[in-house]
Structure 1
Amino acid sequence: MFSSRDIQEVFGIKSKKTLEGVIKKFVDENILTRLEKGKYLLADANISDFEIAQFLYSPSYISFETALNYHGILSQFPVEITSATTKFPVQKVIQGKLYSYSKIKVNLFTGYYKEKNALIAYPEKALFDQLYMIAKGVKTEEYLDEMDYINIDKNSLNEYMVLLPENLKSKISGYIGEYL
């Protein structure tokens, strides 16, 4: 995966018009696949949705329903690839898939690991992020009854609580008490 700028640097292209022509030729010849303006991948590349999500909008990490499903906590497969970001919330439809980015505070941008070229929330952090968005009124409680909490480490989950203001701590503690 790479940007127009990467192509420009690799081929030493100076002119914007020449760059556009080279990119168009590569796309037309199925060498490149255009993800969105200025972002491409090799047409035959085997790139995961998680890696694409990371590339499309950064900084971000896979979280919420997608990470909960990935870790086996939520059995329903989400209809979108959900990520946390410190930037503005945004949704993008790329190659028929919905990529959704929800904004969290900078101090909450933690609790993830790298797998291949994607950052993925740990199970407890994905659940924490989900509860955080529910407490803020951004997401609904619809999936909470359907989750399998057996492998959630409550102590790890509670470690994230220190990052919250008091009003959100009490709301999230209520959810933890009810569901875990």
Structure 2
Amino acid sequence: MKTIELLGILSAQPVFTINDLSRILRRSDSYVKTVAYRLGRMGFIRRIEKGKYTVRDDAIEIASYLAAPSYISFWTALMIHHLTEQLPMGAMVAVAKPRKEVMFNSEKISFTKVSQFWGYTKMRYMDSDIFIAEKEKAVIDCMLAKNTPFDEAAKAILSGDLDYEKLVVYAKKTGSSSLAKRIGFLMEKHDRDASALLDMADSNYIPLDWSSKRKGRKDFRWKVIINTRLDQI
């Protein structure tokens, strides 16, 4: 099989394995490993980790194929959905089971275990279909995992580009009181009705920004400590 023909077949999938290559070439493992090595040396394919390769250059294209089940979320999903002006490096992935990070093409692919494993879909990104959180679930994942700056999650809520009814439904589905308080407070600052979340708000005060000190004015309605400048979000 000619190299150009082989690369055409391999390009149909974001990630392929040595076993995939063996099925295509119908040759021995040792032969296939030599082919993979040579293709890598020539720059036609990239090694992701042991036994896994790709013809892609972008970490996001391959990230949701390195663990099953998984989906792109957190700050990366906010970027893809145009809910942040920042460009986080690499890719952030939600997984059902713990997984070590991967360095690919000088970019870090990080994996965060989530218990709320729902609210994602498939979409086209560059030359690949990727699994990615819906806008509203990406915001919720950010707030539950706290692995994205608070300001970025808050900006997404204040952007006006979300389905706010869905956001409320999803927030209630998590059963998280802290999440409901933060989302409810921010939604009402954007003049959106968040009253359906009030029954989830307990009497304990929490910091609005989870990464800052518990110092600031207290909001009695949502039981949050306003410890960040909202006019700078």
- The answer to whether the superposition gives a TM-score over 0.5 is yes
Q: Would you say 1:8 and 2:17 are equivalent positions?
A: no
Give the counterpart of 2:170 among 152, 156, 160. 160
Whole-Å separation in 2 of the counterparts to 1:8 and 1:65: 37
Aligned position for 1:110: 118
Aligned position for 1:35: 48
Aligned position for 1:128: 140
AA paired with 1:123? K
Aligned position for 1:81: 91
| Equivalent residues of 2:39, 2:45 under 8 A apart | yes
TM-score w.r.t. length of structure 1: 0.81
Q: Deviations over 1:72-127 (max 9, x none)?
A: 2222111231111112043211001111111112xx22212211310121110100
Aligned position for 2:33: 20
TM-score w.r.t. length of structure 2: 0.64
Give the alignment of 1:38-53 within 5 angstroms.
38-42=51-55, 48-53=58-63
Residues matched between the structures, number: 168
AA paired with 2:30? K
Gaps of 5+ in 1: none
Aligned position for 2:219: none
- Residues 93, 66 of structure 1: CA spacing in aligned structure 2 closer, same or farther, 3 A cutoff? same
| Equivalent residues of 2:75, 2:88 under 8 A apart | yes
Whole-Å separation in 1 of the counterparts to 2:178 and 2:139: 14
Q: Would you say 1:65 and 2:75 are equivalent positions?
A: yes
SS in structure 2 opposite 1:114?
A: strand
Whole-Å separation in 2 of the counterparts to 1:161 and 1:13: 52
| Equivalent residues of 1:60, 1:86 under 8 A apart | yes
| Equivalent residues of 1:63, 1:82 under 8 A apart | yes
Whole-Å separation in 1 of the counterparts to 2:42 and 2:31: 16
SS in structure 1 opposite 2:32?
A: helix
1:33 is displaced (CA, Å) by: 2.1
- Residues 139, 77 of structure 1: CA spacing in aligned structure 2 closer, same or farther, 3 A cutoff? closer
Percent sequence identity is 27
> What is the root-mean-square deviation in Å for CA atoms of aligned residues?
2.2
1:7 is displaced (CA, Å) by: 0.5
